[in-house]
Amino acid sequence: MNIKPIEQLMRATSIIPVLAVDDLAHAKPMAEALVKSGYPVLEVLIRTEFALEAIAEMKQVAGAIVGAGTVTNPDELAAAIDAGAEFIVSPGLTDRLGHAAIAANIPFLPGIATAGDIMRGLDLGLTHFKYFPAEASGGIAALKALSGPFGQCLFCPTGGITQQSVDAWLALDNVLCVGGSWVVPSQ
């Protein structure tokens, strides 16, 4: 069986910490602590001033697999790749961004919330998605309903997942991992 690179990343951990790095000095120590704690796959949100530099810093940590999150367009995609991002996560999926990520040949986890979003991804040849915002989009019940017509798809729910709810999400057959901002709170 040929497993796609994004699926390999999703299977490398059950929880992907979603990180907003506000101080560049914290980037490398944060990555070291997370990798040591069993969280090798790190999603750095590119919505902070130091995000792209943080990706480069975190990549210096042995065992860290560092990607860029909140990528919303091809320009941000290119900047994240230039910074060394090893995978890309977006909050949604547009044809422009999807085509650019596919052309860049980088593992890509686009955000979806509806059946139409999934169908757009399938049209692009994608089968692995970030279900976002997970809780606000109907939670576990909605994702279970989507699994009927889209049984070939695998998901990483993100948005509203908590330490208390993570096990229920991970119990779903079509969920390989979850994104967790609670792992490293912004404060």
b/e per residue, 53-77, with b = 16+ CB within 10 A?
A: ebbbbbbebeebbbbbbbbeebebb
Q: Which residues are catalytic?
A: 43, 130
Q: What angle do CA 84, 181, 140 make, to 5 degrees?
A: 115
Calculate the alpha carbon distances from 85 to 1, 47, 181 in Å. 26, 14, 19
**4 CB burial (10 A radius; 0-12, 13-18, 19+):** middle
